[in-house]
Structure 1
Amino acid sequence: MSVEAAAGIPASRPGGRYRWRVCAMLLAATTINYIDRQVLGVLAPFLQDEIGWNEIQYGYIVTAFQAAYAIGLLCAGAIIDKLGTRIGYAIAIAVWSVAAMSHALAATVVGFILARFFLGLGEAGNFPAAIKTVAEWFPRRERAFATGIFNSGSNIGAIVAPLMVPIVAVAWGWQAAFLVTGVLSATWLATWLLWYRAPEQQPRLSSSELQWIRSDPPETAVRVPWARIVRFRQAWAFVAAKFLTDPIWWFFLFWLPKFLHSEYGLTLTGLGLPLVVIFVMADVGSIAGGWLAGRFIKLGWSVNRARKGAMLVCALCVVPIVFAVRADNLWVAVALIGLATAGHQGWSANVFTLTSDMFPRHAVGSVVGMGGFAGAVGGMMIATFVGFLLHTTGSYVPVFLMAGSAYLVALLVVHLLAPRLEPARLETIPQERPAA
């Protein structure tokens, strides 16, 4: 045995890569998560004729998902903390797997509302469970990279769905599209329960890799209640940014297929390539947005100037979407929408980083939870609004105008609430004493 091992000092390189298999499982789950949620969006233009719902009713169906997602975000973290990642993650994906397949049984608007509600409830557990799994399986120096890998599944899922769903629906019917994606979730669940264990209980994990995973100093678990966090303007800056801009992303996910179908007459099989181009551009934007802020910092800019400068560039990328609704050519519209989705993803990468810019690590999870809830509530509101708008006017113009301006408005609000991105001094507010 080496002197370092005898002394309990981890080697400079771990003696194994089993933790990356765990990361691959998280990537697969996140990809399936986004495939499942987007099946309805891809099929929506054609299910509208099949089921007979109107735009307002479709808005209610989307709102049901958003409402459940918001509720799930409030509850999922506590449930997963109590039950552990193996069982907590399994419960989440079991709920969304059954809910995804139950869409195939829906024949009315109410049936789709119920299916979407339980899908949103289950899918809300994915990110809390995945982030907690990364914290258990990776040392701090690798967590950001591991999180980036599994989070890329959101864009992969958004790309795979418009390619896979039309093929399945044309070959075996629209019900099969929901069943196939549900089977993917169920397969992942079975694999997870059979294969996953905590690092200390995993017999295939080498002792040197376990030592590497546990190489950080012990962390003190400190829970910061929302009641303390909401007293800081910095928290409201993040919440406002999520509330104003997350709904635009939900609009992209659930209404773009309907827009392309109604404005350009695309068939179910014709939707695939345009949607793939749009979401590939979104993936590039996610990487570029994070890189741009880092580049500005390397040039000597302050964190405040670099972060907001990158956010401004991303916000300006969304502005041209106002012309997409009047574009005579499909691919001009696709390019403008793709630029906007790229801007959103780059914006989102920087908005999430605002939390670590302004809050200590032990409070970041709570702040992110608040923002995620606000974004989901905003998604509920826009779903209902868009449904009524399209039903009464049939025009996408107001929605695209709103999308083009939302990010600049959000940036202004962030700057007014946190003009220098100064750290929140949580220690300046004493914790409330328990009652005697």
Structure 2
Amino acid sequence: MTPTGLSSQQTGSGATSERTTHLRWTVCAMLFCATSINYMDRQVLGILASTLQHSIGWTEAQYGYIISGFQVAYALGLVLAGRMVDKLGSRIGYAIIMGLWSAAAMAHALARTALGFGIARFFLGLGESGNFPAAIKTTAEWFPQSERSLATGIFNSGANVGAILAPAIIPWITIKFGWQAAFLTTGIFSLTWIAWWVTHYRKPADSPKISQSELHYIQSEPISVAATIPWKKLITYRQTWAFSIAKFLTDPIWWFYLYWLPKFFDSRFHLGLSHLGLPLIIVYNISAVGSVGGGWLPALLNRRGLTMPGARFTTMLFCACIITPIFFASRTHSEWMAIGLLSLAAAAHQGWSANLFTTASDMFPQRAVGTVVGIGGMAGSIGGVLFSLSAGWVLQLMHSYAPLFAVSASAYLVALLVLRTMAPGFRKIEDPL
């Protein structure tokens, strides 16, 4: 079997070549689309934050509370969603998840107060929390270890595409039809995706369209079919804590980019709603390159002689280092310099994130991946809550983004030190569980 999953020869009355399939990449495309929709839904509030702040009258601290409501629910939902996906499977679990977050996203159109937005945001967080546990579990089912970081990088880049599409269309919709219409826009995409997923998704062994050669390639790692693993067992492993602490330290930085970059550009460079789209589109376009590139780099380094754990660690170190110049983003008087620094940091974060997600499937058996990602995501959301509350008060009291960018610059190196100390070599645990 070759690494590209080339077809095998079948023998019978005569030798025939089996048709080669690459169905796993269609599954990856479905995950990419779901993640794009996920980030379009959550990005709408950040783009409209300054507009809504003026029309409804909330303070910086109240905005922090609204964002925190989302993240509290996201933290709770991640563990529950990870467990639900492990029990129900990706096909049914993912459809339920998408349906819940889509309804909550459209419910923002009914809000008229900061409290109303906080309630809608809370339920959006419950639904959206399931996207990454479901996607990472699906990737573990459909891809061998050598391809998982690339597949994760590809579907993870959907976050950037969603964040690009939102500033490209939301300001125009808001100006033409009002902010309520902006929150309703993505509903049609969500419903279409759910129908696509339920109709076409199956596990590799159950798919009628997959070739035997591709199935054998996907199953080059043994597949565990045992029962799901209890949380109380998983939290006894250092690998669980290492993954979770790394998420706690670095996930809040991406939340900060999503929800405060529009406000940063508006306050620092006085960009209105009609001019806000271009800087955000540039930042998230470049971050999409970082997501795919960060997922591809470990495979390249592995082919050049590094072990896969060594290649993963080297890639994460590179990403952590090139994030550090963001320290100067709030000090520059050049809009384009700020865009450049933020683009580099966002790209490096996405490369980091693709590899950090993949460490879960590197270190744990398939039947535990959804739950571990959920636990780590919960930790990341707790960090996001603390960061959002702090950001709101820092901006209200100090009127400066400098402390927030200083934390953003250093968090990844600290997280990598934790990973290196607690989970050296990303050693895979045995599966006696």
Which range, TM-score by smaller chain?
0.7 to 0.9
1:172 maps to 177
Match of 1:108 among 106, 110, 113: 113
Give, as a single letter, the amino acid of the residue that structure 2 aligns with 1:388.
W
1:219 matches 2:220: no
1:62 maps to 67
2:166 maps to 161
Q: 1: distance between equivalents of 2:380 and 2:388?
A: 12
- Give the alignment of 1:314-353 within 5 angstroms: 314-353=319-358
Contact 2:40 2:162 in 1 (8 A): yes
Contact 1:317 1:340 in 2 (8 A): yes
Match of 1:75 among 52, 73, 80: 80
3-state SS in 2 of match to 1:209: coil
Q: 2: distance between equivalents of 1:275 and 1:142?
A: 33
Match of 1:397 among 402, 405, 415: 402
Contact 2:10 2:16 in 1 (8 A): yes
Match of 1:150 among 146, 155, 165: 155
Q: 1: distance between equivalents of 2:151 and 2:290?
A: 19
Give, as a single letter, the amino acid of the residue that structure 2 aligns with 1:40.
L
3-state SS in 2 of match to 1:33: helix
Q: How many residues are treated as equivalent by the alignment?
A: 420
1:367 matches 2:372: yes
1:4 matches 2:10: yes
Give, as a single letter, the amino acid of the residue that structure 2 aligns with 1:220.
S
1:32-60 Cα distance to aligned partner (Å, 9 max, x none):
11100100011111111011000111011
Q: 1: distance between equivalents of 2:24 and 2:409?
A: 41
Give, as a single letter, the amino acid of the residue that structure 2 aligns with 1:4.
Q
Q: 2: distance between equivalents of 1:198 and 1:346?
A: 28
Contact 2:60 2:395 in 1 (8 A): yes
How far off its partner does 1:313 sit? 1.9
Contact 2:71 2:384 in 1 (8 A): yes
3-state SS in 2 of match to 1:220: coil
2:386 maps to 381
Q: 2: distance between equivalents of 1:355 and 1:260?
A: 35
Gaps of 5+ in 2: 1-7
Q: 1: distance between equivalents of 2:197 and 2:338?
A: 41
Contact 2:154 2:295 in 1 (8 A): no
Q: 1: distance between equivalents of 2:352 and 2:197?
A: 33
How far off its partner does 1:386 sit? 0.7
1:170-204 Cα distance to aligned partner (Å, 9 max, x none):
111111110112333234335555x34647999xx
1:209 matches 2:210: yes
Q: 142-151 or 118-127, which moves further after superposition? A: 142-151
Q: 2: distance between equivalents of 1:31 and 1:183?
A: 13
Contact 2:82 2:373 in 1 (8 A): no
Match of 2:132 among 127, 130, 136: 127
Q: 1: distance between equivalents of 2:234 and 2:84?
A: 21
How far off its partner does 1:356 sit? 4.2
Match of 1:290 among 277, 291, 295: 295
Q: 2: distance between equivalents of 1:168 and 1:38?
A: 14
Q: 2: distance between equivalents of 1:413 and 1:118?
A: 32
How far off its partner does 1:393 sit? 1.5
1:434 maps to none
Q: 2: distance between equivalents of 1:389 and 1:296?
A: 41
Give, as a single letter, the amino acid of the residue that structure 1 aligns with 2:167.
P
3-state SS in 1 of match to 2:97: helix
1:312-359 Cα distance to aligned partner (Å, 9 max, x none):
221121111111101111000010111111121122223233334444
| Cα pair distance change 1:132/1:347, threshold 3 Å | closer
Give, as a single letter, the amino acid of the residue that structure 2 aligns with 1:53.
W
| Cα pair distance change 1:92/1:297, threshold 3 Å | closer
Match of 1:230 among 211, 221, 235: 235
3-state SS in 1 of match to 2:210: helix
Give, as a single letter, the amino acid of the residue that structure 2 aligns with 1:245.
T
Give, as a single letter, the amino acid of the residue that structure 2 aligns with 1:271.
L
Gaps of 5+ in 1: 432-436
Contact 1:69 1:376 in 2 (8 A): yes
Question: TM-score normalised to the size of structure 1?
Answer: 0.85
| Cα pair distance change 1:143/1:6, threshold 3 Å | farther
Over the aligned positions, Cα root-mean-square deviation in angstroms equals: 3.2
1:371-410 Cα distance to aligned partner (Å, 9 max, x none):
1111111111111111111111111111011111111222
| Cα pair distance change 1:10/1:112, threshold 3 Å | farther
Give, as a single letter, the amino acid of the residue that structure 1 aligns with 2:427.
P
Match of 1:261 among 266, 281, 284: 266
| Cα pair distance change 1:192/1:227, threshold 3 Å | closer
2:4 maps to none
Question: TM-score normalised to the size of structure 2?
Answer: 0.86
Contact 2:204 2:210 in 1 (8 A): no
How far off its partner does 1:102 sit? 1.0
Contact 2:151 2:295 in 1 (8 A): no
Contact 2:134 2:370 in 1 (8 A): no
Q: 2: distance between equivalents of 1:130 and 1:58?
A: 29
1:421 matches 2:425: yes
Identity of aligned residues (%): 51
2:3 maps to none
Q: 2: distance between equivalents of 1:3 and 1:316?
A: 48
3-state SS in 1 of match to 2:185: helix
| Cα pair distance change 1:29/1:354, threshold 3 Å | closer
1:39 matches 2:40: no
1:252 maps to 257
| Cα pair distance change 1:71/1:43, threshold 3 Å | same
Contact 2:74 2:129 in 1 (8 A): yes
